Chain A
Amino acid sequence: MNTENLIALLVAAPLLGAAVLLCGGRRLDRVGPWLGTLLAAVPFVIGLVLFTDMLGKGAEERSLHQHLFSWIPVEGFQADVAFQLDQLSMTFVLLISGVGTLIHLYSIGYMEHDERRRRFFGYLNLFLAAMLLLVLADNYLLLYVGWEGVGLASYLLIGFWQHKPSAATAAKKAFLVNRVGDMGLSIAIMLMFTTFGTFAFEPVLGAAEETSEGKLTAIGLMLLLAACGKSAQVPLQSWLGDAMEGPTPVSALIHAATMVTAGVYLIVRSGVIFNGAPDAQLAVTVVGAVTLLFGAIVGCAKDDIKKALAGSTMSQIGYMILAAGLGPIGYVFAIMHLVTHGFFKAGLFLGAGSVMHGMNDEVDMRKYGGLRKYMPVTFVTFGLGYLAIIGFPGLSGFFSKDKIIEAAFAKGGTEGWILGSVALLGAAITAYYMTRVMIMTFFGEKRWEPDAQGNAPHPHESPKSMTIPMILLAVGSVFAGGFFSIGDRFMHWLEPVTHHDHGDSPLSAATVTGATMVVLVIGVSMAWVQYGRRPVPSVAPRGSLVTRAARRDLLQDDFNHVVLVRGGEHLTRSLVYVDHTLVDGVVNGTAASVGGLSGRLRKLQNGYARSYAVSMFGGAAVLIVATLLMRAV
C-alpha cells in the first residue's frame, strides 16, 4: 500500500467530523460526543500506522509527500494543496491527535450537562483538522490556512459560553491580538514570494542559504511576529490569560498543548531562514527569555488556578521559543520540550478542570485547600504533572528543560551567560509558583464555603471518562522525557530535518543539572515556607507593589490601553479633526464658491426679453469686431 495516500485522511477525518456535527442538527445530540471522539482517534491511528512505516525506513527516506490538487494555478504563481510528512510533522501529528483524542474523551464527561455539547465537539474536531493541516502543509500558504483555521476554532471555543460577557470579550480579544500576528505571517509569505518566487517549503528553505541576510532578517522578524501572536509571547501575550474563559478541555488542548505551540513549529520549520539571519535569531531569543520570566511572574500572583497555569504555559513556551532562537543547538530541544510540555500541561489543565468539576466551577485557589483526600486520582495525576513541570529528576520536564538551559549556556559568549541565567531563574520561579498551586489546592485546611445561594461544594472524584485521560497524560508526563533521552533517541529522530549542533558550553552538563537542582530546591522551599507552613488566607492579602502588578498581568492590559487604545483614540480624533477642517473645508469651500458664482450668474436669467436681446446684440457685435480684427491681422 502507498502510505503517502493516507496523509490526507489525517486532515479529512476530523474535518468530516466537524461538518457532520455542525450541520447535523439535534438528532446527533446523543451520539455527537462519541462520534467526535471517534473521528479524533482516526488520525491518531493513521498517525501510528504511518509512524511505524516511517520507522522501517532509513533516516533520509522518511519524508513523505502527497500532492492532492492544484489550488491556485496561475501563470507565475502556483499554490498547491500538498502535504509533507517528515519527522517534525510526524511528531506533531502524534502529539496533536494523541492529546486531542484524550481530551475529546475527557470532554465527554466534562461537558456532560452542557446542552450545546454537539457543537462543542464539532468545534474541537474543526480545531484538530486545522491544526493537522497547519503541521502537514508543504507550503507556507497552506500552512496559513491552517493557521487561520486554528485561530477561528480558538475564537469559537474561548467564546463557547457566549452568554457570559467575559467569555465573549475574551474571544474577541484573542481574535484581535491574533490578527496582529497573522499580519506578520501574511507579510512574511509575501516577502518570500517576492524573494524566492514561491512559498513551498522545499524551494524556499533550499534557496535561503544563498539569499542576502537583510531579506532573511525581514522574513524572520515577520515570522517571529506571527509566532508571538499565536504563541502568546511578549508583546502579543495579553490574550492567553483571558482565553481561560473557555471550557477547561479547550484550555488544555488549544491553549496549553497544541495551538499555542504553533509559533514554535513555525520557527523550527523555518530554521534555515533564521540560521541565515543572526539578528532575527537574537530577537527570537530575547522574546523567549522575556516571556519566560514574564509568564512565570504572572503565574506566581494569580489566585485563579487556570490563570496561574496560563502564566505557566506562557513561560514554558517562552523556553521553547528561546531554544528555537538558539539555532541548530536548540531546535531539537524546543520540540522535545514542546512534546513533554504537551503531556504535563494538558494533564495539569485536565486536573484543574477535574477540581473545578467537583467544586461547583470555583476557580479561586484560596477557596480550595485539602482536596487530596477527596480527589485522590486527580491529586496523584496533578502531582505527577507538577513534578514533571518543575523538572523533578527522572520526570519529563527534567530532561527537556535541562537541555534547554544547557543549550542556552552553549550559545556561548555573554549572550549565552545571560540567556542561561534567565532560563535558570525561570526554573526557580517555575518551582515556586507550581508548588504554590499544588499546596493551595491539595494541601492545608479546607477553605471552601457555601456560595451566595447556600450551595456548599461537595468535592468528589470525577467520572472515569475524565480520570482515564488524566492518568494516561500523567504516564506521558512521567516517562516521555526519559524515553526520548535514552541514547538521544529524539535528537537522532529529528536531526535529518532540523540538524543539530552541540555548541560549545562553558559549563559541563553536570554543573548545569546541579544548578537546576539547587534552584529547584530553593523555589520549592520558598513556596513551602510561604504557603505550606502558614495557613493560606482565604481572601488575598493586599500584597506588595510587584504582587499587585503581577495580579494585573504585569500591567499588560493597562499598557495596551494607554498606548494602543488611547493612542488610537487620539489618532482617530486628530484624523477626524483634519477631516473636518481640511478635507471638509476644501469640499465645502468648493461647493460654496460654485454656489455663490451660480447665484450671481442666475441674475442674468431675469426673464426680460429685452435684456436677452441686448446680450444677443452684444454677442453678435463682439463676434463681428473679433472677425474684423482677425482679418486685419
Chain B
Amino acid sequence: MNPVNYLYLAALLFAIGATGVLIRRNAIVVFMCIELMLNACNLAFVAFSRLHGNLDGQIIAFFTMVVAAAEVVVGLAIIVSLFRSRHSASVDDASLMKL
C-alpha cells in the first residue's frame, strides 16, 4: 500500500479546513472547518499507523475524536448563546474585547 495518496488527501482536507477558518464568517461553518482539519489530522495518523504497523496512531486518533466531541459540546453551546444575545452567528461581530 502506498501511503502517499492518503497523506495528499489529508493535506488537501487540512488546507480546505484552514482556508474555511480564515475566510468564512459564519461561526457554524468555521466550526465545521475546524472539524475538517481535525479529521485531516486523524487521517494522517491512521495512515502512518498502517505504514508503521503499530497501533499508536490509531489510539491517538481516538483521543482526537474524544477531544473533538468535547470541543463540539462546548463550542456549540457558546455559539448558541452568542446567537441568542446578538442575533448573529458572525465571528466578526464578536469583537467586543478590542480596544
Q: List residues of A whose CB falls within 8 A of some B CB.
A: 602, 605-610, 613-614, 617
Contacts and interface: CB of A to CB of B under 8 A. Distances in A.
A605 B96 CA distance: 12
Interface of B: 18, 21-23, 25, 91-92, 94-99
B22 A609 contact: no
Given A617-B18, A617-B22, A610 B98 contact: no
A610 B25 CA distance: 8
Contacts of B98: 605-608
Contacts of B25: 610
Contact of A607 (B18, B21, B22, B95): B95
A610 B21 CA distance: 7
Contacts, number: 29
A423 to B, nearest CB: 85
Given A613-B22, A617-B18, A608 B95 contact: yes
A610 B22 contact: yes
A614 B94 contact: no
A606 B95 contact: yes
Nearest to A617: B18
Contacts of A602: 99
Contacts of A614: 22
Q: B interface, by DSSP: helix, strand, loop or mixed?
A: loop
Instruction: List the 6 closest pairs (A to B, CB-CB), nearest first.
Output: A607-B98, A607-B95, A609-B91, A606-B98, A607-B97, A608-B95
A607 B25 CA distance: 14
Q: A interface, by DSSP: helix, strand, loop or mixed?
A: helix
A299 to B, nearest CB: 79
Contacts of A609: 91-92, 94-95
B67 to A, nearest CB: 18
A611 to B, nearest CB: 9
Given A617-B18, A617-B22, A610 B91 contact: yes
A617 to B, nearest CB: 6
A199 B50 CA distance: 93
A478 to B, nearest CB: 95
Given A605-B98, A610-B22, 18 more contacts: A602-B99, A605-B99, A606-B95, A606-B98, A607-B96, A607-B97, A607-B99, A608-B91, A608-B92, A608-B98, A609-B92, A609-B95, A610-B21, A610-B23, A610-B91, A613-B22, A617-B18, A617-B22
Nearest to B98: A607
Contacts of B96: 607
A247 to B, nearest CB: 73
B21 A613 contact: yes
Contacts of B95: 606-609
Contacts of B21: 610, 613
A628 to B, nearest CB: 14
B82 to A, nearest CB: 11
Contacts of B97: 607
7 contacts: A606-B95, A607-B98, A609-B92, A609-B95, A610-B22, A610-B91, A617-B22
Nearest to A606: B98
A608 B95 CA distance: 5
A615 B23 CA distance: 13
A209 B9 CA distance: 101
B23 to A, nearest CB: 8
A254 to B, nearest CB: 72
A600 to B, nearest CB: 13
A609 B95 CA distance: 7
A609 B91 CA distance: 7
A610 B22 CA distance: 6
A442 to B, nearest CB: 91
Contacts of B18: 617
B58 to A, nearest CB: 25
A267 to B, nearest CB: 75
A608 B92 CA distance: 6
Nearest to B96: A607
A214 B18 CA distance: 85
Contacts of B23: 610
A606 B96 CA distance: 10
A50 B98 CA distance: 91
Contacts of B92: 608-610
A607 B18 CA distance: 19
A623 to B, nearest CB: 15
Nearest to A607: B98
A612 to B, nearest CB: 10
A597 to B, nearest CB: 16
B91 to A, nearest CB: 5
A404 to B, nearest CB: 86
A614 B91 CA distance: 14
